[in-house]
A and B are shown apart, each in its own frame.
Chain A
Amino acid sequence: MRTLLLRSLFARPVTIAAPSAENAALTEVGHALEGRIRRLYGRSLTIREVDAGSCNGCELEIHALNNAVYDCERFGLRFAASPRHCDVLMVTGPVTRNMKVALERTYAATPDPKWVVAVGDCACGCGVFEDSYAVIGAVDKVVPVDLHVKGCPPRPIELLRGLVALVDKATAKG
C-alpha cells in the first residue's frame, strides 16, 4: 500500500543536469530582443502552447518538459492555460489555413511584451508539408517569431536549451 508515495518521499531526484544555453539559440534570441521594450520577469516565463497544425509529435516532446526528468519549472518556465497569462507563445506545426485565424487571435490575446518560439521543423520552415493548398507554412508567415527550435521533433533537451537562453536574455537586459 502506498509504496509509490513512500518511495517518492525518500527517492533521489531523477532530474537531469541543467543544460547550458546553446550559442546559436543565444545569438538568435539576442537579436530578437534588441530594441524591444523589456520588463523584468524575475527569471520566470509563462508559456502558452499553441498547436497550429502539428502532427502532435512536437506536443509529445513539449509535454516531456513538464516531467520529473526535465522539470522545466526549476528554470522558471511554466505552462499556462490561457494566452492572457503568458509571456511566451510556443507554436508548433506548419500553420494550417484552418488554424490561421485562431493563431492570430491567440497572439492578439497575449499581453505585451511577448515572445514567440517556433518549435519543430514544420513551425520553423514547413517541414514535409510544403506545397499544400491547406498549409500556410512557417509560423513567421503569420506572427513574428523570436526563437526557432528545429528538429522533427526537437528533443526536450533542445527545447530547454532554447528556452533557457530566452530567459537569460530576457532578464539580463531587463
Chain B
Amino acid sequence: MSETLQTLLQGRTAIAGHRPWPRYEIDAATWDALGAALAAGEGTLLGLWGDEGLVHMALSAPTLPTPAIVTLAVPDGTFPSVGKHHPPAIRLERAVCDLYGYAAAGAPDARKWLDHGAWGITAPLGSRAPAPLADPVAYDFSPVHGEGLHQIPVGPVHAGIIEPGHFRFTANGEIIARLEERLGYVHKGIDSLTTGCDIDRAARLVARVSGDSTVAASFAFARALESARGISAPPRAVALRGIMAELERIANHLGDIGAVCNDAAFALILAYCGILREKVLAACDRVFGHRLMMDKIVPGGVAHDPSPAELGVILAMLDDIAPLFADVVEEYDDTPSLQDRTCATGVVTPDLVVKWGAGGHVGRASGRDFDARRNLAYAPYDDLGFLVPVFMAGDVDARVRVRIREVEASMEMIRMLIDSLPDGPVRTQATGASAGEGVAVTEAFRGDLLVWLRLDGSRVARCHIRDASWFQWPLLEASIENNIVADFPLCNKSFNCSYSGHDL
C-alpha cells in the first residue's frame, strides 16, 4: 500500500460530539485503503457495524494515539469489502448485510450469516421487505474434497447445558480436517431493539446481550453513555464497578477451569471449582442483590452502595476461596494425565491471534499481550498495578493457565479496590437531553467488549455491542484442525465463546 494507516487518517477533522476517541467521515477509497492497511498488519479491527445509510469501522493501531472510528456513507447500498483484504471482517460484513441490506462489494463470502430465512423479512434495519420463509437447514457449507472424508453435523441443540450453534466437522477417521461454524441461532435483534429506544431499556438490553458478561457490558455501556454526555461517574462508583467486574471475571474463570478439566474427564476439579464459583455468586447476591450483578452498573454510577459490612462479605469470601483455589491449581499442576489432554491440544498460532485481534485468554494464551484494562486503560484500572499473564503455547493448557493467573490477579485487585475505596456518592445524574456519541471498550472475562452509541436527546438513537467472541469463534475453527473429534469439547470450552453475545 502506498499510504499507511496513519497517513490515511492524518489531518482529518473529527466529527464533533463523538467521545472519547475521534470519528472521521471518509470516502470509499479511504475505506478500502484502510482495509488493505489492516491486512498489512498495521492495525487491529475493533468492530464493523451498520447504521442508517452508513457503515462504521472501529480500529486501533500503534501509530494512532487512540483507537478511531471511521464512517462511510452508503447511498447506493454498497461499500468496499474490508473482508476481501482482511478476513476478520468477513462475518461482521455478512451481519451488516443481513441486518441493513448493505452489500460489501467484492466480499469473499456472500452467504447469509444471522439471517436464517426465518424472520419473514429481509434487512430488518433497512428495507424490511417481506421474504419467504426458508428451510432452516439449507446452508451452503464450504465444499470439502478428498478421499476418506466424512462429515459430522452437530447442533444447533447440543448435548450439554450450553447455547445453540451448528458445527460441521469434516473428519478423516478421528482426525478433524475442517470445522465450519454456523451461528446466529440465538439472534434476538438486539441492534434493532436498541435503535431509537429509551436509555433505561437500552441499558437492560445491553446487560442481557451475554449473561456471563453482564457486568462488563453494562460497564462499557455506562462509560460510552457518560462519554457521550460528557459526564463521569463518581470515584466511589468507579471503584465499585471495578470490584463487580473482577468478581464477574473470577466467577466465570472458575466455571471455565472446572469445565475444561471436566471435559478432560477430571471431575474433581470441576466439583471444587463449582463450590468456589458458588461462594463467589452467593457473596455477589448478598452484597449486590443479584448473583450475576445484572443491572447493577447503571449510567452515571452503580445501583447499590455496599455498606462496610457488605464489603466485609466480599473480603471474607476471598479469604475463604484463596487457599482452596491454590489447592485446585496444585491439583492441576500435579496431574500429568490431565495435562496430557490439555497440552498441545487446540493450538492457535500467535500470528492468527494478532491478525484477528483476538482478546482475552484466547489472545493471551498465544502471546498477544493485550488487555483493555491496561492497553486502553480506563478507571479504576488506570492507577491500579496488576499482572497481565501472557503465555506462548496457544493450547488448551495455556488458556487454562491464563485464567488461573487472572483469578489470582483479580482477587488481589478487589482487595486493593476495597482497601482504597473512596467515600462519596455512587451515582451522578445521567439523564438529560443532550445529543452526542460515545464509545467504550471494557475487558470482559473473555476479552475486549466494545459498545458504541449515539444519543438523540433522552433516547438511544443507535447502539452497537461487539463481543470479544466475534474475533475468537473463527480461531476455534483454526485451533481444532488436526485434532481428534473427541477433543473438540475440550477446545471449545477452553475458548468459551459466547453464542448470544455474537448472535445479538
Q: Is there contact, CB below 8 Å, between B278 and A67?
A: yes
Q: Is there contact, CB below 8 Å, between B156 and A102?
A: yes
Q: Is there contact, CB below 8 Å, between A68 and B188?
A: no
* Docked complex Cα distance between A52 and B163 (Å): 8
Q: Which of B114, B157, B192, B214 touches A132 (beta carbons < 8 Å)?
A: B192
Most buried by A among B128, B161, B187, B201: B161
* Docked complex Cα distance between A64 and B278 (Å): 8
Q: Is there contact, CB below 8 Å, between A133 and B121?
A: yes
**A142: min CB distance to chain B, Å:** 12
Q: Is there contact, CB below 8 Å, between A102 and B162?
A: no
* Docked complex Cα distance between A102 and B164 (Å): 9
* Docked complex Cα distance between A79 and B158 (Å): 13
Q: Is there contact, CB below 8 Å, between A56 and B294?
A: no
For B160, the chain A residues whose CB sits under 8 A away are 81
Residues B181-204 near A (CB distance < 8 A): 184-190, 192-193, 201, 204
Q: Is there contact, CB below 8 Å, between B156 and A134?
A: no
Known: A97-B119, A152-B294. A106 touches B157 (CB 8 A): yes
* Docked complex Cα distance between A3 and B334 (Å): 10
* Docked complex Cα distance between A79 and B210 (Å): 23
* Residue A93 CB within 8 A of the other chain: yes
**Chain B interface: which of A4-12, A17-25, A31-39, A165-173?**
A4-12
**Chain A interface: which of B49-57, B143-151, B324-332, B386-394?**
B324-332
Q: Which residue of B lies closest to A7 (CB)?
A: B327
- Report the contact-size class of chain B (Cβ under 8 Å from the partner): 35 or more
Q: Is there contact, CB below 8 Å, between B500 and A54?
A: yes
Q: Which of A14, A69, A129 touches B193 (beta carbons < 8 Å)?
A: A129
* Docked complex Cα distance between A55 and B23 (Å): 31
* Residue B272 CB within 8 A of the other chain: yes
Known: A67-B278, A102-B156, A128-B205. A59 touches B331 (CB 8 A): no
* Residue A155 CB within 8 A of the other chain: yes
- List 4 other contacts, CB 8 Å, given A3-B330, A56-B163, A135-B189: A60-B212, A98-B116, A98-B187, A134-B189
Q: What are 10 A-to-B residue pairs whose CB atoms are below 8 Å?
A: A8-B268, A55-B211, A68-B275, A69-B275, A69-B278, A98-B114, A101-B136, A128-B205, A134-B124, A134-B192
Q: Is there contact, CB below 8 Å, between A66 and B118?
A: no
Q: Which of B186, B255, B285 touches A54 (beta carbons < 8 Å)?
A: B186
Q: Which of A57, A93, A131 touches B186 (beta carbons < 8 Å)?
A: A93
For B119, the chain A residues whose CB sits under 8 A away are 97, 133-134
For B121, the chain A residues whose CB sits under 8 A away are 133
Known: A67-B275, A98-B118. A128 touches B156 (CB 8 A): no
Q: Is there contact, CB below 8 Å, between A132 and B193?
A: yes
* Docked complex Cα distance between A132 and B128 (Å): 13
* Residue A74 CB within 8 A of the other chain: no
* Residue B281 CB within 8 A of the other chain: yes
**B297: min CB distance to chain A, Å:** 15
Q: Which of A14, A62, A101, A152 touches B161 (beta carbons < 8 Å)?
A: A62
Q: Is there contact, CB below 8 Å, between B118 and A97?
A: yes
Known: A67-B277, A79-B161, A133-B189. A1 touches B211 (CB 8 A): no
* Residue B34 CB within 8 A of the other chain: no
Known: A57-B208, A102-B136. A96 touches B274 (CB 8 A): no
Q: Is there contact, CB below 8 Å, between A60 and B268?
A: no
* Residue A162 CB within 8 A of the other chain: no
Q: Which of B205, B255, B272 touches A60 (beta carbons < 8 Å)?
A: B255
**A96: min CB distance to chain B, Å:** 6
* Docked complex Cα distance between A82 and B118 (Å): 25
For A93, the chain B residues whose CB sits under 8 A away are 186
**B309: min CB distance to chain A, Å:** 22
Q: Which residue of A lies closest to B213 (CB)?
A: A56
Q: Is there contact, CB below 8 Å, between B292 and A153?
A: yes
For A5, the chain B residues whose CB sits under 8 A away are 268, 331
Q: Is there contact, CB below 8 Å, between B211 and A60?
A: yes
Q: Is there contact, CB below 8 Å, between B328 and A132?
A: no
Q: Is there contact, CB below 8 Å, between A153 and B211?
A: yes
For A62, the chain B residues whose CB sits under 8 A away are 161
* Residue B29 CB within 8 A of the other chain: no
Q: Which residue of A lies closest to B201 (CB)?
A: A128
Q: Is there contact, CB below 8 Å, between A102 and B157?
A: yes
For A97, the chain B residues whose CB sits under 8 A away are 116, 118-120
* Residue A58 CB within 8 A of the other chain: yes
For A146, the chain B residues whose CB sits under 8 A away are none
Known: A8-B271, A98-B136, A101-B136. A129 touches B188 (CB 8 A): yes
